[in-house]
Structure 1
Amino acid sequence: MTVWLNGSLVASGAAWIDPADRGFTLGDGLFETIRVKDGAPCHLPRHLDRLAAGAALLHLPLPHDAAVLAAGMRALVAAHDVADGALRLTLSRGTGARGVLPPADARPTLLMTLVPAGHLTSPVHAVIAGCTRRNEHSPLSRLKSLNYLDSILARQEAAARGGDEALLLNGAGRLAESSVANLFLVIGGRILTPPVSDGALPGIRRALVIDRHGAEEAPLGPDDLARAEEAFLTNSLSLRPLVSVDGHPIGAGHGGPVLATLLEDAEL
């Protein structure tokens, strides 16, 4: 397997990262998962804009500009000869002395990997996680940080309860998102999604559904699941019908016409 590390293509076995890297020791970093379709990264400007915004919030310098990253992605795709896949960009702050305060002269680590991956559209049976909640007051709820422990706990709970995904509530008890995707409900013909202020990650495909299909941000509670005609989950690699939650069907218990329209949109 070939990876792109700090500006160069290298074999994965030779991709050495310092054991003192803060991405490993503290989760001090960000990532982006980018769908590769027909050999090209999808919605790359949006992904790189989100990465830059997150890096600015964390005062984490970006070691390469957009042109270098785009060239690195093209080289990585060519090295793997992958037409459809999942490209992950991982940015950490690099090494530093022990303690949480970042070094003033940070030298970030930037790694990109690529694996084959299809576009997931299979139905989802979810549970509402009880073991953890989304902290809507934290700026980290708006970032794809290297710490995904809340999502890991929620997904473990879902598996233990026979589900294949978990929905996360925020501190106020409102719906925020799933462990790895944004949530949409169709109620009264309106496409609704929890607002970023309620803990929803500003997802790339989420923004496209809002821009291209008139979805609206609105606070949503668990009771709204019973009122929904249909529901679906979106992230960069999937657009999937949410067909049941805690054993109760959503709408008719299968994907509906809104999702069918979205699946026909080649720009998504």
Structure 2
Amino acid sequence: MHYFTASDGARIAYEDEGEGRPLLLLHGLMAHNDFFALQRPLADRFRLIRPDLRGHGESHARTGLEVERLAADMADLAAALDLKDAVVVGWSLGASVLWHLLAGPASHRFAGAVVVDMTPRVENDAQWTLGLTPEACDARREAIESDFASFATQAGQAIFAEEGHHHGARWAGAEFARNDPVAIAALWNSLRQQDFRPLLGEIRQPTLIVHGAHSHLYTRETAEHLAAAIPHSTLITFDRSGHSPHFEQPDLFNRTLTDFADSLPPVRDRQSAI
């Protein structure tokens, strides 16, 4: 495990292995870098960077628990490692961090992006129905605050398709339960406030939209909205996956990610062509 100090003094943990084009893998809420452990074979061809986002894993923190600050941490990390020509992969919460990165001053460090089963706005309203209902969002908040252990166990099951992965669901639930519920509650509240719809049309990096056909959180219509809103995007559906295609169909995910990364020109060439 490696560590770096973010601009506000927080200590952020990350794994860094392999050589080649950097792949920055950003996990979901309550997860940590080992939720991308099945992508470690990619280190044979790429530089694989797997951070623990603030408030998760070994990146202990009880301040700065907002999505914007998590993105600032990753911008700090990208600068500290002098990343160039990188691909950023964001799963669930990690995709929200990804969108802040691509909208901010660190955007030039990334040649492409992969969004894994996420919506640009979590909480629905009268004009938006491709996220979660306010009632569902409130129920999650209440469960986090009142019975975090049970919530974590159920969430571990919910990231998978209905069939199979029983061991994975038990492991995920146990790992989720290790988190500080105060930190997770703060991050959930921040995530509910995010709305990336105005930013999607400004993304210039080629983007792969990954959707799990059996996701219990977001529908294919959500993924199709992203594919239509982001200019240079492609949608791929993993037919045997739920919310976590990288975990449920890792071989296919790794091949897909490799093909996508290999298809990208260096940043300098892509920028000169725009």
TM-score when scaled to structure 1?
0.25
Larger strand proportion of the pair = 1
TM-score when scaled to structure 2?
0.25
Q: Report the structure number with the largest CA radius of gyration.
A: 1
